[in-house]
């Protein structure tokens, strides 16, 4: 689980900002969203240009140099904060795996250029590298032979290099290291519009129809739409050598994606990723409900809430979702003025299950202590 994330001098975040999801409160409702002491389901609010999208990009920067998964590199243009004094951005991730804490820190000059890298487990630094100075070390048992070969001008992450080029001894430290690498490889970011793409988790750009048909989920997709109040008689087929989803009508059939509304296509995009999410580790969905009716937004959030063992965070402007019936005060986050905090931290008032969070929010109760 990701416990805490900090970033500084990246895009709109000139000063250090910390997203802490490892300090939940002691609420006795909706407790299923807390696992291993971490919040696993949350919703992030913020006005336009507050940094919600950039927060997602910052968290997922790690996949750009540690994995071979899909990357949205053009989104990382204008990488450094334009008013910042530093010539690099700094990132810090704190993870918890089986009661062990792993901290991964690095700095970059741009999305492709690492400046420094450090990985620690339970307070002991096990991998370090200073890229400009071409100096560093690895202490993971089984990787010692790499200490000479890592000292070169290669821009490749030394954490990635150690993972790919050593036969690590089977011990607890190395097991936690492997869990970390597996976690990063299963992270997924996507947007509510298919045209904006995705980052992490896998590679390729199959169509939504191909993905749903190849998964054998056409009828399940039909039932999912019906639950959302959208009824079609769907079937999978092949058209011009490509998988497609068609709708059956009394007098003719039609390609689902050519007749569906923008909102329904957005729902299909969500479903495409939803059926894959159980294999993910951390999911960030930006403006997940941009084309949904508010009741549909709640239905989608209920689906996400039921996925165990996966941390899923969404961004939205929809305050109808700010309810203790859905989540809880330590899982609703406000991003403002280079700070992100759960609403439970933004008031001295003891928040109870019966409180109307949306009403309190609109009345300014969470404008900060």
Number of C-alpha atoms within 13 angstroms, CB side, residue 69? Answer: 24
What CA–CA distance (Å, rounded) separates 52 from 324? Answer: 22
What CA–CA distance (Å, rounded) separates 268 from 292? Answer: 12
pLDDT at residue 59 is higher than 60? yes
Query: How many separate helices (H) and strands (E) can be counted in the chain?
Result: 10, 19
The b-or-e profile of 251-263 (16+ CB within 10 A means b, else e) is: eeeeebbeebeeb
**Secondary-structure breakdown of the chain: helix, strand, coil percentages, each rounded to the nearest 5:** 30, 30, 40
Tokens standing for residue 262? 């923008």
Tokens standing for residue 100? 């062990």
The distance of Cα 286 from the centroid of its chain, to the nearest Å, equals: 9
Residues β-bridged to residue 340: 335
pLDDT at residue 312 is higher than 80? yes
Q: What is the mean predicted confidence (pLDDT) over 33-50?
A: 93
> For the chain, what percent of residues have pLDDT higher than 90?
85
pLDDT digits (tens, 9 = 90+) for 143-180: 999 998 999 999 999 999 999 999 999 999 999 999 99
Cβ neighbours, 10 Å, residue 361: 18
What CA–CA distance (Å, rounded) separates 13 from 43? Answer: 20
- Tell me the residue ranges of DSSP E strands in 249-361: 253-255, 282-286, 311-315, 332-336, 339-342
Across all residues in the chain, what is the average pLDDT? Answer: 94
Backbone dihedral angles phi then psi of residue 151, each to the nearest 5 degrees:
-85, 75
Distances (CA, A) of 225 to 164, 265, 266, 292: 42, 11, 11, 13
The domains found in the chain, sorted by start residue, are: 2-202+280-362 (3.40.50.300), 208-266 (no CATH)
User: Could you tell me the pLDDT band of residue 368, with boundaries at 50, 70 and 90?
Assistant: low
Tokens standing for residue 110? 């741009």
Cα dihedral 282, 287, 293, 294 in deg (nearest 10): 70
pLDDT at residue 65 is higher than 70? yes
Tokens standing for residue 79? 């990488």
């Amino acid at each position: 689980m990701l416990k805490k994330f900090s970033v500084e001098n990246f895009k709109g975040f000139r000063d250090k900002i910390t997203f802490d999801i490892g300090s939940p409160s002691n609420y006795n409702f909706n407790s299923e969203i807390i696992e291993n002491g971490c919040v696993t389901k949350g919703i992030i609010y913020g006005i336009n240009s507050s940094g919600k999208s950039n927060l997602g990009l910052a968290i997922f920067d790690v996949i750009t140099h540690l994995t071979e998964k899909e990357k949205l590199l053009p989104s990382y243009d204008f990488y450094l904060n334009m008013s910042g004094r530093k010539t690099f951005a700094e990132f810090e991730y704190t993870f918890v795996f089986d009661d062990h804490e792993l901290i991964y820190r690095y700095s970059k000059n741009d999305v492709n250029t690492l400046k420094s890298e450090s990985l620690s487990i339970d307070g002991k630094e096990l991998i370090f590298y200073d890229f400009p100075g071409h100096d560093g070390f690895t202490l993971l048992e089984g990787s010692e032979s790499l200490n000479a070969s890592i000292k070169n001008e290669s821009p490749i992450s030394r954490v990635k290099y150690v993972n790919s080029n050593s036969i690590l001894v089977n011990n607890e430290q190395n097991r936690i290291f492997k869990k970390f690498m597996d976690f990063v490889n299963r992270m997924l970011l996507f947007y509510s519009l298919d045209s904006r793409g995705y980052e992490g988790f896998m590679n390729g750009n199959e169509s939504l129809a191909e993905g749903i048909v190849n998964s054998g989920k056409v009828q399940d997709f039909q039932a999912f739409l019906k639950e959302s109040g959208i009824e079609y008689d769907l079937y999978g087929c092949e058209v011009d050598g490509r998988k497609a989803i068609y709708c059956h009508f009394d007098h003719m059939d039609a390609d689902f994606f050519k007749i569906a509304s923008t909102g329904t296509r957005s729902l299909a995009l969500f479903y495409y990723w939803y059926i894959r999410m159980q294999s993910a580790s951390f999911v960030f969905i930006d403006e997940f409900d941009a084309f949904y009716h508010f009741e549909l937004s709640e239905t989608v959030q209920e689906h996400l809430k039921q996925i165990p063992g996966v941390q899923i965070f969404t961004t939205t402007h929809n305050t109808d979702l700010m309810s203790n019936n859905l989540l809880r005060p330590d899982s609703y986050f406000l991003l403002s003025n280079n700070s992100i905090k759960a609403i439970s931290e933004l008031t001295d008032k003891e928040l109870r299950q019966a409180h109307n969070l949306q009403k309190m929010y609109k009345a300014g109760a969470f404008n900060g202590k």
